[in-house]
Amino acid sequence: MNPPSLFSPLKIGPYQLKHRVVMAPLTRMRAAKPSLAPRPLNVEYYAQRATPGGLIIAEASPVAANGFGSPGVPGIYSEAQIAGWREVVDAVHAKGGFIFLQLWHVGRVSHSSFQPGGVLPVAPSAVPISSEFKAMTADGKVVDYETPRALEAGEILLLVESYREAARNALAAGFDGVEIHGANGYLVEQFLQSRSNLRTDQYGGSIENRVRFLMEVTQAAIDVWGANRVGVRLSPYGIANGSGEADPMPLYSHAVKSLDKLGLAYLHFIEPRSSGAGRAEVNWQNVPSAMVLYRPLWSGVLLTAGGFSGDAAQAAIAEGHADAIAFGRIFISNPDLPQRLQHGHELTPYNRATFYGGEEKGYTDYPVHDEMAQA
């Protein structure tokens, strides 16, 4: 029996994918203002990248008004946002694709200018991100991160409910599932890691306690969707936004084993060679592979992402390290990426200067291969 390939079918939860080229969640900062709802430009962007039987994981969307750390990202907590996302979902479904929504809260990776009432951002503990990393204010200034306010125990319960309500809103918008963003130094990972979580209550201290918030928000999504339509994204060896555990294996082994008991749609890793959270090119050498290290602990579908070429993606699947590969930057510049990889067509390079904010340029104006051939 031949090993699976990038273009073998794959079942994720109740959905039958026709190929394993997944579009990774990508922050693009092009939502409508001030509603922070998806708009027709976003509908066009996602529709361009939808394929029959292909999976898109839509960009990270804050579950609450205090969950933002960047301008122009879409939320999932208002009626206008639900309506905007419904247009996106309908367009993807019209192309025969599937689409999950990534649920997000940035925690301390924010600034008071983004917070309702101008208050400090919240986090598990009052630990600021070091000055080697810089925050962006709502009006685009670059400043040091502020010291966040530590969440009270009752506020944590309210945040879990925010995830539950966001999961309901995603269901109302017609999505096929949701992904919990537990990576890249944002709120869930802030609870996970010892450098950002100094709590002494049931959410801090031991590994089991630090994993508690991840498990609670995941369970909240499961309560709405059922486990087989919920995924989780982790970055065990990432360093984005001041994150990083001195010895990730004990922490993430416990997290992966705990999640494995839930029967999730998938687990989604970010490989450590690509951990800059989009702000810069990162290609660490001689680093461990998350998919290789944690695959033995995970019995379900495994996605991974992190600067894969088509050949490297094919090898990861053929060798059994992953079941599908999520592509980010090259999916931005190649809206027909699955077809290009399948047929060996040349890839259009991306333009990092147009990743964030703006309008059509660098967003919906990348050509498909047929258009290039006719030009």
Q: Which residues pair with 180 in a beta bridge?
A: 103, 232
CB 175 within 8 A of CB 99: yes
Counting every residue written for the chain, the total comes to: 375
How far apart CA 362 and CA 353 sit, in angstroms, is: 8
Count other C-beta atoms under 10 Å from residue 299's C-beta: 12
The verdict on whether 186 is a catalytic residue reads: yes
Q: How many CB atoms lie within 10 A of CB 63?
A: 29
CA distance 178 to 266: 11
Give kind and range of the element (H or E) at residue 224: helix 207-225
User: CB–CB of 61/101 below 8 Å?
Assistant: yes
Q: Distance (Å, rounded) from C-alpha 22 to C-alpha 326?
A: 4
Give the largest CA-CA distance in the chain.
63
The tokens 């060679």 sit on which residue? 273
Q: Are 114 and 69 in contact (CB under 8 A)?
A: yes
Give, in order, the Cα–Cα distances in Å from 370 to each of 48, 295, 328, 329.
Answer: 13, 38, 21, 20
Please provide residue 143's backbone torsions phi and psi, each rounded to the nearest 5 degrees. Answer: -140, 170
> Are 145 and 108 within 8 A, CB to CB?
yes
CA separation, residue 204 to residues 148, 207, 246 (Å): 17, 8, 16
**Burial letters for 141-179: b for 16+ Cβ neighbours within 10 Å, e otherwise?**
eeeebbebbbbeeeebeebbebbbbbbbbbbebbbbbbb
Catalytic residue among 186, 203, 356, 366, which? Answer: 186
Strands 10-12 and 15-17, by their bridges, are antiparallel
Place of tokens 């991306």: 350
List active site positions: 186
